[in-house]
Amino acid sequence: MPGDSGGSVGLSWRAAPFNGPALRYQVFFGEQERGPYTQLAEFPANSHYKSDADRPWWSWDRTKNVHFYQVKSTRTLNLVNGRPYFFKVALTDGTQSLEGPVRSAVPEPNLFNWNKANNLLLMIVFSTLVLISISQAKRRPNIFLRRIPGLDAVEEAIGRATEMGRPILYLTGSDDMSSLSTIAATVILGQVAKRTAALDTQLKVPHRDPIVMAVCQEIVKESYLEAGRPDAYREDSNFFITSDQFSYTAAVDGIMLRERPAANFFMGFYYAEALLLAETGAGTGAIQIAGTDADLQLPFFITTCDYTLIGEELYAASAYLSREPVLVGTLRGQDQGKAFLLISMVIGTILATIGAFTGTQAFVPVLQLFRDFK
Amino acid sequence: MTLFLRRTLPLLLTFLFGVAFAAQYYIPHPVSEGALTEISVWLRIILGFAMILGIASLCQVHYAKIRTRVAGWGYSLVVYLSMLITVAVGFWAGGQETGTGLGWVYTYTLLALQGTMFSLLGFFVASAAFRAFRARSKEATVLLVAAILMMFGRVPLGEYLVPAAGPLAGWLLNVLSLAARRGILIGISLGGIATSIKIIFGIERSYLGGRE
Amino acid sequence: MRELAGKLLRLDRRAIFVLIALATLIPLLYPVGLPIRVSPEVKRVFDHIESLPAGSVFLLSLDFDPASKPELYPMAVALLNHAFRRDLRVVTMTLWVTGTGMAEKVVSGVASEYGKRRGLDYAFLGYSPGGANVIINMGQDLNAAFPADHYGERTADLPVLRGVRSLRQVNYVVSLAAGTPGVESWYVYGKEKYGFELGGGVTAVIAPGLYPFLDTGQINGLIGGLRGAAEYEILIGMKGKGMAGMDAQSATHFIIIGLILLCNLFYVLAPGTVVRSFDPSAPLRTGSAQDRTGSPQEGQR
Amino acid sequence: MATSVLIGAWVAAGLTLFMFSFLYKDNPFFRFGEHLYVGVSMGYTIVRIHYDVMMKSLYGPVAQEGKWWLLVPALLGLLVLTRFVPKVSWLSRISFAVIVGFGSGVAIPRIISSNILQQVQGTLKPLLNAGSSRFGMAELNALLILTGVLTVLVYFFFSIEHKGAIKIAARIGVYFLMVYFGAAFGYTVMARMSLVIGRFDDLILFASRDYAYASLVLLILVTLGLLLWERGRRRAEAVLRPREPRRGTSQREGVRRTA
Q: Looking at the predicted structure, is the pLDDT value of residue C98 above 50? A: yes
Q: Per mean pLDDT, which range of A83-87, B79-83, B122-126, B193-197 is the poorest? A: A83-87
Give CA–CA dist C137/C194, Å, rounded: 11
Q: What is the mean pLDDT of residues B54-62?
A: 94
| Residue A109 touches chain B, beta carbons under 8 Å | yes
Check if A337 contacts D (Cβ < 8 Å).
no
Helices (H), A200-324: 210-226, 245-259, 273-284, 298-304, 312-322
Contacts of B31 (CB under 8 A, 6+ apart): none
Handedness of CA B20, B25, B27, B30 (dihedral sign): positive
Query: What are the beta bridge partners of residue A171?
Result: A266
Residue count of chain C: 301
D107 close to A (CB below 8 A): yes
pLDDT band for position D241 (cuts 50, 70, 90): low
Higher pLDDT, C193 or D182: D182
One-letter amino acid for residue B194 of the chain: A
Q: Nearest 10 degrees: CA dihedral of C107, C111, C117, C121?
A: -80
Same domain (yes/no): C210, C281: no
In C3-32, the residues whose Cβ lies within 8 Å of chain D are 14, 17, 20-21, 24-25, 28-29
Contact assessment for residue A201 and residue A162, using Cβ atoms and an 8 Å cutoff: yes
pLDDT of amino acid D41? 94
C294 shares its domain with C229: no
Within 8 A of C284 by CB-CB distance, chain A residues are 149, 302, 307-308, 310
Q: Are B116 and D15 in contact (CB under 8 A)?
A: yes
Q: Do C112 and C151 share a structural domain?
A: yes
Q: Is C230 within a domain?
A: yes
Question: What pLDDT does A20 receive?
Answer: 64
CB-count burial class (<10 Å; 0-12, 13-18, 19+) for D103: buried
CB C290 within 8 A of CB C6: no
Query: If pLDDT is split at 50, 70 and 90, which confidence band does B1 have?
Result: low
- Assess whether pLDDT exceeds 70 at residue A181: yes
Residue C134, domain member (yes or no): yes
CA-to-CA distance for A341 and B16, rounded, in angstroms?
Answer: 29
Q: Give CA separation, D95 vs A328, D73, D77, D83, in Å.
A: 29, 9, 7, 11
The reply to whether C23 and C49 lie within a common domain is no
Q: What is residue D226's predicted lDDT score, i.e. its pLDDT?
A: 95
Query: What gap in Å lies between CA A315 and CA A130, rounded to an integer?
Result: 14
* Secondary structure class of A1 (helix, strand, coil): coil
Residue C133 shares a structural domain with residue C257: no
User: In terms of CA atoms, which chain B residue is nearest residue C283?
Assistant: B139
D6-31 pLDDT per residue, tens = 999 999 999 999 999 999 989 999 99
Q: Of the candidates A107, A109, A110, A66, which has an alpha carbon nearest to the alpha carbon of residue A86?
A: A107
Query: How far is Cα C103 from Cα A112, in angstroms, rounded to an integer?
Result: 47
Do C185 and C64 belong together in one domain? Answer: yes
Does A370 touch chain B if contact means CB atoms closer than 8 Å? no
Give the integer Cα–Cα distance in Å for C274 and B198: 46
Confidence check: pLDDT of C284 > 70: no
How far is D203 from chain A, CA to nearest CA, in Å? 20
Q: What is the pLDDT of residue A98?
A: 82
Contacts of B55 in chain A (CB under 8 A): 240
What's the CA gap between B24 and D110, in Å, rounded? 11
Decide if pLDDT at A58 tops 90: no
pLDDT reading at D82 higher than 90: yes
**How confident is the model at residue A299, as a pLDDT?**
92
Mean pLDDT, chain C, as a whole number? 82
pLDDT at D247 over 50: no
Nearest to B185 among A207, A219, A295 (CB): A295
- Of residues D70 and C215, more confidence is placed in D70
Q: Is the per-residue pLDDT at C207 higher than 90? A: no
Find the residue in A nearest to D162 (Cα): A146
Distance CA D197, CA C251 (A): 12
Number of domains in chain C: 2
Residue A100 has pLDDT above 60, yes or no: yes
Question: Does A212 have pLDDT greater than 80?
Answer: yes
Residues of A in contact with B209 (CB under 8 A): 215, 217-219, 221-222
CA D50 to CA A181: how far, in whole Å? 29
Q: What pLDDT, on the 0 to 100 scale, is given for residue B91?
A: 94
Query: Residue D71's closest CA among D59, D56, D88?
Result: D59
B193 Cα distance to chain centroid:
20
User: What kind and span of H or E run contains A187?
Assistant: helix A180-199
Greater confidence (A353 vs C209) lies with A353
Average pLDDT, integer, range C72-80: 94
Q: Would you state the pLDDT for residue D257?
A: 28
In this prediction, residues B101-117 reach a mean pLDDT of: 90
- Give the tens place of pLDDT for each residue, A276-288: 999 999 999 999 9
Partner residues linked to A310 by β-bridges: A292
Cross-chain Cβ contact B198/A316 below 8 Å? no
Number of helices (H), then strands (E), belonging to chain B: the values are: 10, 0
* Cross-chain residue pair A144–D103, CB shorter than 8 Å: no
Average pLDDT for chain A: 87
Distance CA D131, CA A371 (A): 25
Residues A163 and D77: their CA atoms lie apart, in Å, by 42
Q: What is the C-alpha separation between C202 and C79, in angstroms, rounded? A: 13
Q: Which chains touch C (3 or more CB pairs under 8 A)?
A: A, B, D
In a domain, C35, yes or no: no
- Domain co-membership, C203 together with C55: yes
Residue C272: the pLDDT is 58
Is residue B136 classed as helix, strand or coil in its secondary structure? coil
Question: For an interface test with D, which of A345, A351, A367 has the most D Cβ atoms less than 10 Å from its Cβ?
Answer: A345
Closest chain B residue to C277 measured between Cα atoms?
Answer: B137
Q: What pLDDT is recorded for position C37?
A: 82
Q: Which residues from chain A sit within 8 angstroms of residue D92, using beta carbons?
A: 214
Q: What is the pLDDT of residue C279?
A: 38
Residues C288, C157 share a domain: no
> Does residue A160 sit at the D interface (CB-CB below 8 Å)?
yes
Closest CA–CA distance from residue C84 to any residue of chain B (Å): 28
Q: What's the pLDDT score for residue C2?
A: 67
Task: Let me know: does B193 contact A123? Beta carbons within 8 Å.
Answer: yes
Same domain, C20 and C156: no
This complex has an ipTM of 0.86
User: Quick check: D259 and A156 CB within 8 A?
Assistant: yes
Select the residue of B13, B140, B150 nearest D101 (Cβ to Cβ): B13
Contact C35 B160 (CB under 8 A): yes
Residues of D in contact with B175 (CB under 8 A): 141, 144-145
pLDDT tens, A323-367? 778 878 888 999 999 999 999 999 999 999 998 888 888 888 888
Record: contact C67-B111, CB cut-off 8 A: yes
Identify from B68, B130, B197 which residue to disrupt to test chain A contact, counting A C-beta atoms within 10 A and taking the largest count.
Answer: B197
Q: What is the pTM (predicted TM-score) of this model?
A: 0.87
Chain C nearest-CA residue for A289: C285
A119 touching chain D per CB within 8 A: yes
Average pLDDT over residues C206-227: 82
Inter-chain CB proximity D162 and C298 less than 8 Å: no
Q: Could you tell me the sign of the dihedral formed by the alpha carbons of C32, C35, C41, C43, in that order?
A: positive
- Give the domain range for residue C285: 2-30+247-300
What is the DSSP-derived secondary structure letter of residue C148? B
**CA gap B99, B93 in Å, rounded:** 9
CB B117 to CB A134 under 8 A?
Answer: no
In the structure, what pLDDT confidence band is assigned to residue C278 with cuts at 50, 70 and 90? very low
pLDDT of amino acid C281: 36
Above 50 in pLDDT, residue C290? Answer: no
Q: Does C205 have pLDDT greater than 60?
A: yes
* All residues at 6 or more sequence positions from C164 whose CB lies less than 8 Å from its CB, including other chains: C57, C91, C142, C170
Query: Long-range contacts made by residues D239-246, C-beta under 8 angstroms, separation at least 24?
Result: none
Arithmetic mean of pLDDT, A14-26: 74
Q: In chain C, whose CA is at the least distance from the CA of B106?
A: C98
| C-alpha closest to that of C100 among C148, C64, C147 | C64
CB contact under 8 A, A303 and C285: no
Comparing A31-35, B50-54, C38-42, D122-126, the range with the smallest average pLDDT is A31-35
Q: Of A149, A155, A160, nearest to A261 (Cα)?
A: A160
Judge if C105 and C84 occupy the same domain. yes
- Residue (of D131, D165, D137, D161) closest to D151 by Cα position: D165
A41: Cα separation from own chain's centroid: 38
Domain boundaries along the sequence of chain B: 1-92, 94-130, 133-212
Could B128 and A303 be called an inter-chain contact, meaning their C-beta atoms sit closer than 8 Å? yes
For residue C292, pLDDT beyond 50: no
CA atoms within 13 Å, Cβ hemisphere of C221: 24
Given a cut of 60, whether residue D258 has pLDDT beyond it is no
Check B197 against D108: CB less than 8 A apart: yes
Question: Which residues numbered 9-48 in A keep a CB inside 8 Å of some CB on B?
Answer: none
Among residues B48, B20, D114, D99, which one has the least CA distance to residue A183? D99
Distance, in Å, from the CA atom of A124 to the CA atom of A134, rounded to the nearest integer, reads 15
For residues C261 and C172, state if they share a domain. Answer: no
Question: Tens of pLDDT along C224-259?
Answer: 888 899 999 999 998 888 888 899 999 999 999 998
Residue C286, pLDDT > 80, answer no
Q: For residue D24, what are the contacts with CB-CB under 8 A and spacing of at least 6?
A: C14, C296, D226
Chains that touch D (3 or more CB pairs under 8 A): A, B, C
Residue A3 has pLDDT above 90, yes or no: no
What torsion, rounded to 10 degrees, do the Cα atoms D209, D212, D214, D218 define?
120
D256 — pLDDT class (breaks 50, 70, 90): very low
Chain B interface includes C287 (CB < 8 A): yes
* CA separation for the pair C54, C256 (Å, rounded): 47
Question: What CATH number is given to the structural domain containing C132?
Answer: 3.40.50.10160
Of the candidate ranges A16-25, C216-225, D48-57, the one whose mean pLDDT is the lowest: A16-25
Contacting subunits of A (3+ beta carbon pairs below 8 A): B, C, D
Whether the CB of C28 is below 8 Å from some CB of chain B: the reply is: no
pLDDT confidence bin for A31, thresholds 50/70/90:
confident
Instruction: Please give the DSSP secondary-structure letter assigned to residue C175.
Output: E
Q: Which residues of chain C make contact with B160, given a CB cutoff of 8 A?
A: 34-37
Please give the full DSSP string across A273-297, using - where no structure is assigned: HHHHHHHHHHHHT-EEEEEE--TTT
- Other Cβ atoms closer than 10 A to C71: 33
B5-28 pLDDT per residue, tens? 788 899 999 999 999 999 999 988
Encode pLDDT of D68-78 as tens digits.
999 999 999 99
Q: Give A52-58's long-range contacts (Cβ < 8 A, gap of 24+).
A: A54/A373, A55/A115, A55/A373, A56/A114, A56/A115, A56/A117, A56/A118, A56/A368, A56/A371, A56/A373, A57/A364, A57/A365, A57/A368, A58/A114, A58/A117, A58/A118
Same structural domain, C67 and C23: no
- By C-alpha distance, the chain D residue nearest A163 is D255
Q: What is the mean pLDDT of residues B85-105?
A: 89
C275 → closest Cβ in B137, B147, B151: B137
CA angle B63, B67, B69 (to 5 degrees): 115
